[in-house]
DNA sequence: CACGTAAGTTAGTATTCACTTACCAAGCAA
DNA sequence: TTGCTTGGTAAGTGAATACTAACTTACGTG
């Protein structure tokens, strides 16, 4: 008997891994591996055999924990929704909203979106796949997660319009625009490994928030041009 | 022998369809059906048997036209790229750019994005799938199609910044923002069947373009508030 | 140490999948 | 009619796939 247990010493990826895990641990390991695999190739693109192999375990073990492949898939979203704890983030957002600190409010939410999507690359891809494949679970996730964000954003923008701080924009359209910018940023990074626009979440969030708040046009009061319909050269 | 050929009389969807098509026609029909199916369930989610059944033909016919399933998949993108003819659109865009008609320029491009994505629902989903599944063909499509758009937009914005008409924004960031808005709009419509923000392409494009150009903030010159850091309460 | 429980294995099974082979018949030109 | 090209079919083939049944081994506890 070698005295020390395997711990972290194993190779890492195709590792046959340690034997005799506790049920709980094994289950979590399988869910983790399945998430990565499904996020890479979609539900029907991955075999249970593959997952078992990566976990260093026989296929039958997977079916001890999950009755069907579908159930394993569902378990991924289940666990993610349990893990998701954005309480601190929401507290900050409510504070910024109360202080009417528009710029920091939008920068923070955009930065948060970029950070989360970058950190949780696999899960984002998985959500895409599941949305495309029409799994009800993705729908549920969007209803619970995205809906909240959009409602919150929409309400804030609506308030600021009423207060006269914002122009008479449609709050829903504005909220969607706001979300679209950092979202597409990370989507491009992840889908096409696009590197044309890079930067830290802070930097990017500042740039996007500036466009969202101020627009790209130079306001009419600027020294150069009047806002007359068009300067035809 | 019934005198009249089947023509269009057949049921429509699970139709065994007409017999003895010309090779060319059959090929196109198969590509059309495959596109719809792949766009619904992804590459590995669809069987060649399914496609054959919908075409009202035996599986072997598919493999007469396409050596492998992969080749059929590739043929879809191939044909789409041949069909795509945006010459008129580009001419209009160049004209608007030359006239420095910023608002119409951006409204037109956003409207175009919404229209195309709405009209070509299946193909958009297919592109998503293929991007996620990492098919090289999707990469090719994006390099040829999206790259052009972004370069064109980036160049125009850069020019307008130099001319002093736009604020000192990063052209790439601005171009991406611009694209993100109508793109996410249709993505939500298609992925979640979301109906919170509806409207014709024109209406939506106007709303999004206004945010992009003018921002949501009311400019400091407005009667209500000065641009001082924050109006607490 | 016995011993029961839970983690793990081996070796299937039925079915489905992409793809093939060998044959058939519709149309058309000579 | 003959013959030949071409669109079409029937019936497979071997490899995978999700999932199962029956058996084995590690481990904590009375």
pLDDT tens readout for residues A128-180: 999 998 887 788 888 888 888 899 999 999 999 999 999 999 999 999 999 99
What's the whole-number mean pLDDT along residues A68-76? 95
Chain A residue numbers touching B208 (CB-CB < 8 A) = 173, 177
In this prediction, residue B1 carries a pLDDT of 34
Q: Where in chain A does DSSP place strands (E)?
A: none
In this prediction, residue B113 carries a pLDDT of 93
In this prediction, residue B61 carries a pLDDT of 96
How confident is residue B224, by pLDDT bands cut at 50, 70 and 90? very low
What's the whole-number mean pLDDT along residues A89-96? 93
Mutation for testing the A interface, residue in B204, B215, B231 having most A CBs under 10 Å:
B215
CA angle A219, A228, B154 (to 5 degrees): 60
Orientation of helix A201-214 relative to helix A102-119, angle to 10°:
140
Q: Are B213 and A217 in contact (CB under 8 A)?
A: yes
Chain B residue numbers touching A213 (CB-CB < 8 A) = 215-217
pLDDT tens readout for residues A185-222: 999 988 878 888 999 999 999 999 999 999 999 887 54
pLDDT tens readout for residues B152-198: 999 999 999 999 999 999 999 999 999 999 999 999 998 878 888 99
Task: Tell me the average pLDDT of chain B.
Answer: 85
How confident is residue B13, by pLDDT bands cut at 50, 70 and 90? very low
Provide the number of CB pairs (under 8 Å) joining chain A to chain B: 190
Query: Residue B49 CB closer than 7 angstroms to strand D?
Result: no
What ipTM does the predicted assembly reach? Answer: 0.82
> Is A224 part of the contact surface with chain B (CB cutoff 8 Å)?
yes
Q: Are B79 and B31 in contact (CB under 8 A)?
A: yes
**pLDDT above 90 covers what percent of chain A?**
64
Q: CA of B20 vs C1' of D9, distance in Å?
A: 12
Residue with tokens 């959009």: A150
Q: CA of B37 vs C1' of C10, distance in Å?
A: 39
- Per DSSP, the residues of A84-144 read ---HHHHHHHHHHHHTT-HHHHHHHHHHHHHHHHHHTHHHHHHHHHHHHHT-HHHHHHIII
Query: Residue A63 CB closer than 7 angstroms to strand D?
Result: yes
pLDDT tens readout for residues B28-84: 999 999 999 999 999 999 999 999 999 999 999 999 999 999 999 999 988 888 887
Distances (CA, A) of B175 to A21, A174, B55, B136, B165: 51, 17, 42, 25, 16
B89-B100-B146-B169 Cα dihedral, nearest 10 degrees: -160
Chain B residue numbers touching A218 (CB-CB < 8 A) = 164-167
CA angle B196, B202, B207 (to 5 degrees): 60
Going along chain A from its start, the domains and CATH numbers come out as 23-76 (1.10.10.60), 84-214 (1.10.357)
User: Of A66, A78, A178, whose CA–CA distance to A126 is shortest?
Assistant: A78
- Closest CB from B45, B157, B231 relative to A44: B45
Q: How many residues does chain A have?
A: 233
């Amino acid at each position: 008997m070698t005295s020390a247990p395997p711990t972290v010493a194993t190779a890492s990826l195709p590792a046959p891994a340690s034997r005799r895990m506790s049920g709980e641990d094994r289950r979590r390991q399988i869910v983790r591996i399945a998430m990565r695999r499904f996020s890479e190739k979609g539900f029907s693109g991955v075999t249970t055999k593959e997952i078992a192999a990566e976990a260093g375990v026989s296929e039958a073990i997977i079916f001890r924990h999950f009755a069907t492949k579908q159930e394993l898939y569902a378990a991924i979203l289940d666990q993610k929704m349990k893990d998701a704890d954005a309480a601190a983030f929401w507290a900050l957002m409510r504070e910024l909203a109360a202080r009417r600190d528009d710029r920091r409010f939008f920068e923070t939410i955009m930065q948060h979106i970029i950070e989360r999507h970058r950190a949780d690359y696999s899960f984002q891809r998985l959500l895409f796949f599941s949305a495309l494949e029409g799994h009800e679970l993705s729908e549920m996730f969007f209803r619970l997660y995205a809906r909240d964000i959009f409602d919150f954003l929409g309400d804030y923008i609506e308030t600021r319009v009423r207060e006269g701080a914002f122009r008479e924009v449609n709050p829903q359209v504005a909220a969607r625009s706001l979300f679209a910018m950092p979202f597409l940023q990370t989507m491009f990074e992840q889908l096409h490994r696009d590197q044309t626009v890079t930067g830290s979440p802070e930097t990017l969030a500042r740039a996007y928030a500036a466009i969202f708040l101020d627009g790209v046009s130079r306001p009419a009061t600027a020294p150069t041009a009047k806002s007359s319909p068009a300067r035809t050269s």
